[in-house]
A and B are shown apart, each in its own frame.
Chain A
Amino acid sequence: MSSVLLSAKELSRNYGQQQAVHNVSFEINKGEVLGFLGPNGAGKSTTMKMLSGNLAPNHGEIIINGYDLLTQPKQAKSHIGYLPEQPPLYKELTVKEFLSFCAQINQISSTKIKSAVDTAIDRCGLTEVTQRLIGNLSKGYQQRVGIAQAIIHTPAVVILDEPTSGLDPIQIREIRHLIRDIAKEHSVILSTHILPEVEMLCDRVQIINKGQLILSDTIEGFGLQMQTSCLLLELSFPPAIEVLQSISGVLNVENITDTLFQINYSPEHNPTNQIVSEASAQQWQLTQLTPQQHSLEDVFMKIIRDETQLNEQAV
């Protein structure tokens, strides 16, 4: 198994009386993309702030590449790159000036600054805007500068807090592309409330709600949660509903329209093949046969709902 680059143990953080993050533990391995998923106000940003050393946890420890963030902050921080929700930029500087400054404060030796800046500019697709003032760039480009700032010192772990929020769909696609590119060389922790983003980018998913981790799974495992045993079937000349019901494996059939049926089946006995051969033999004229999936939204809501129900029962 690959080495652990960042491990957080029993992180807790209060804001006054309110508990923002409670007892959150997780690890991230080399070359992994970890998605932090949760509704707004669930504690995602607080966790990210703690991981980047902007906020001290009330309880718990964070080890980055072998250095404890609380007792050896300098060494630990040199292994992380952080992009907060609002990209931290000096708008009066040009892209190049800003990135050179970032390289300097990240203790890159003066002989290597130029190559580090050029690499970051190249990787984030900023070549055309190097001499422009950051304040005059579009939001998408500003976000790229923010990402360039986070990877300039080639940190082991890159922490991105809602990197696609507030961008238009084209910019979102470009930023996602960029993140996938970055993930080839760095481990990435990504927070978002957009489910497809997690599906596209992440190897592992963690769902956080009301400051607590309620699910931690690989993206495949997460996908399994979404599987149902349900087919959508459309026939131009449908037989009587009983005929469909009698096909082995079918549990029940529901009419949606005259020609459209929803078929529930037992998971261990998939009737798809049977239906196809019956349809061609009996000339029902099959026009649609779609395996139904829960959307990520459904699963997300289900997990959060289950959790609240459990809590209520416990109370």
Chain B
Amino acid sequence: MLSLAKNELYRLFLSPLAWIILALSQLILAYLFLTHIDYFVQIQAKISAIPGAPGVTELIAIPLLSNAATLLLLIAPLVTMRLIAEERRNESLPLLLSAPLSTHQIVLGKYLGTFGFFMVLLILISLMPLSLSLGSQLDFGLLASGLLGLALLLASFTSIGLYLSSLTRQPTIAAMTTFASLFLLWIIDWAGNTQITAESENLFSWLSLLRHYQSLLQGEINSSDIVYYLIVISTFLILTIRRLDSERLN
């Protein structure tokens, strides 16, 4: 399983896609990071007199993580699309299926490999706010909570992307469906905002990937948010395993 994950990660870095994604996301986020710093410098004089005013972490690091989530929503489908769809297209899936591996080992191996890539990305992103600690005091608790949120969010993206990639042999279709699903889960609580009924509000906002992330960004680590992400991750992993199994049978 680990060798599969390692191979997946290694092959990802052999393609220019991984490098381009890392480089461009760094470029965009660095620009946003600078604008946040700029804004902070502008208002610093005004808020310094207020007791309990938001600090660097609230005004720079957390908005950056929030921006990163939106950017990764766009990027994640491009990384996950190839996972199984491309193996199908290259007819290389029999290699894994006829090896002495169970389906859940194959799925978990691919999942961990891709998640590993996103962790590399997450570390690179977190370096930016961490660099502020050279000249300022950071709220590490808040930052850690935000990073945990982003990690869980990425883990969910990967899981959903993996499942949708297992449904088709066209990577582009996998990318489109993944993007659509992620986006829908992102904005699904907008329905809740129009306040039709209290019940639908609850359901829709509970389903939203974004809602749970926001509370983590505010430094609240609720078990319900963590459980929500774990449910999303495991549901789509199980669906992927079932999908690959049923392909063998039908």
A residues near B, CB below 8 A?
49, 52-56, 73-75, 77-78, 80, 82, 84, 86, 88-93, 97, 101-102, 104-107, 149
Contacts and interface: CB of A to CB of B under 8 A. Distances in A.
Contact of A106 (B14, B93, B100, B248): B100
Contacts of B90: 88-91
Q: Chain A contact residues: over half helix, strand or loop, or mixed?
A: loop
Contacts of A93: 11, 14
B4 A105 contact: yes
B99 A89 contact: no
B94 A101 contact: no
A160 to B, nearest CB: 12
Given A88-B90, A90-B92, 10 more contacts: A49-B94, A53-B97, A54-B97, A73-B100, A74-B102, A86-B91, A89-B90, A90-B11, A102-B95, A102-B99
Nearest to B103: A73
Nearest to B248: A56
Contact of B7 (A55, A56, A74, A101): A101
Interface in B91-127: 91-102
B223 interface: no
Given A53-B97, A54-B248, A93-B14, A73 B102 contact: yes
Interface string B14-52: 110000000000000000000000000000000000000
Contact of B93 (A88, A104, A105): A88
7 contacts: A55-B248, A74-B102, A80-B98, A82-B98, A86-B91, A88-B91, A91-B90
Given A101-B7, A104-B3, A84 B101 contact: no
Contacts of B95: 88-89, 102, 105, 149
A52 B100 contact: no
Contacts of B249: 56
Contacts of B15: 92
A97 B248 CA distance: 28
Contacts of A52: 94, 97-98
Given A88-B93, A90-B92, A77 B99 contact: yes
Contacts of A149: 95
A105 to B, nearest CB: 4
Given A56-B248, A84-B91, A92 B98 contact: no
Per CB-CB distance, the 6 closest pairs between chain A and chain B, nearest first, are A88-B95, A104-B3, A88-B92, A78-B100, A86-B91, A82-B98
A198 B94 CA distance: 25
